[in-house]
Structure 1
Amino acid sequence: MEDDYFIASDLAGSLKTLGAEVVGLVASAEDAIEKVIGGGFDLAALDVGLLDGMTFEVAQALRTKSIPFVFITGYSSDVIPAAYADVPRLEKPCTIAELVRHIGVLCRSEQPE
C-alpha cells in the first residue's frame, strides 16, 4: 500500500522476482480498507501516508483481521501512534533485502508453535 506508483511497482516487481505473489498495488486509504475487507492476502507493506491521508485506520483494519504488516515510510517514528509501536518500521528508501527480512520475521511469528 503505497501512493508513489514507481516505488510500489519497483517493490512489487522485486518481490515477484523472489517468488512472492503480489495481489495488488493500492494508493489510497479508502482502497486499502476495501482490500483489507476483501482479504486474500497474508501480510501487507503499508506506507504511513497515502493519497487521501494517514493509514492508521488501515492499520487497525489489518489488526482486526489479524493480518501482519510492516510500515514503510519517510515519516519519523514519532508520527506512528503508540498502539503500533510493535509494528516493524522501515525508513524510505529501504532496500528489498530489508523488506524481505521483515517479511520473513512476520511470517515466522505467524507460525503456530
Structure 2
Amino acid sequence: MNKLAGKRVLIVEDEMLVALLIEDFILQIGCEIAGMAMRLEPALDLARTIDIDVAILDINLAGKPSFPVAEMLRERGIPFVFASGYGVAGLEGSGISAPVLQKPFDVSDVRRLLAGVV
C-alpha cells in the first residue's frame, strides 16, 4: 500500500522548472498538488490557509528564506521537507531541523523523504 496516495502537497519553489519537476514527481508517487507558490508572501498565505498533508519548501525564495513558512506549518502540525542545492548546510543558523532534499534529486528521493515525514 502506498502511504502517500492522495496526500495533499504544498510546493514552495522559486524556480519554475524545478517546481514543475517536483509537481511531476508528486503526481507520479500518487499525491495531489494542494498549492504552489514561488515567493514568500504567497507561500505564507497558502501555509496559513489551505488544507495540506505535507509540504516541500525551497530554502531560498528569491533571496528570502522560507523559514517563516516552515514555522507556520509547524504551528499547524503539518510536516515538511526542505529542498536545497546547499543540502543540510542551508539550514545552518535557522534553528529549524527538518529533512532536506539535496538538489538535484529524483522521484525516489522525493518519495523516500515524504514517506518519512507523513
Fold match by TM threshold 0.5 = yes
Show structure 1 runs of 5+ residues with no match: 108-113
Number of aligned positions between the proteins: 106
The offset of 1:14, in angstroms, is 2.2
TM-superposed CA distance for 1:55, in Å, is 0.7
Superposed CA RMSD in Å reads 1.5
**Could you say what secondary structure the match of 2:95 adopts?**
helix
Q: Secondary structure at the match of 1:10?
A: helix
Task: Decide which of 83, 97, 100 is 2:95's aligned counterpart.
Answer: 83
Higher fraction of helix: 1
Moved over 6 A (4+): none
> Map of 1:1-113 to 2, 5 A cutoff?
1-51=12-62, 53-80=64-91, 81=93, 83-85=95-97, 87-107=98-118
Which ranges in structure 2 are unaligned for 5 or more consecutive residues?
A: 1-11
- After TM superposition, give the deviation of residue 37 of structure 1 in Å: 0.9
Instruction: Name the aligned partner's letter for residue 65 of structure 2.
Output: M
Residue 31 of structure 1 aligns to which amino acid in structure 2? P
The TM-score with structure 1 as length reference comes to 0.85
TM-score (norm 2): 0.82
Report % sequence identity: 28
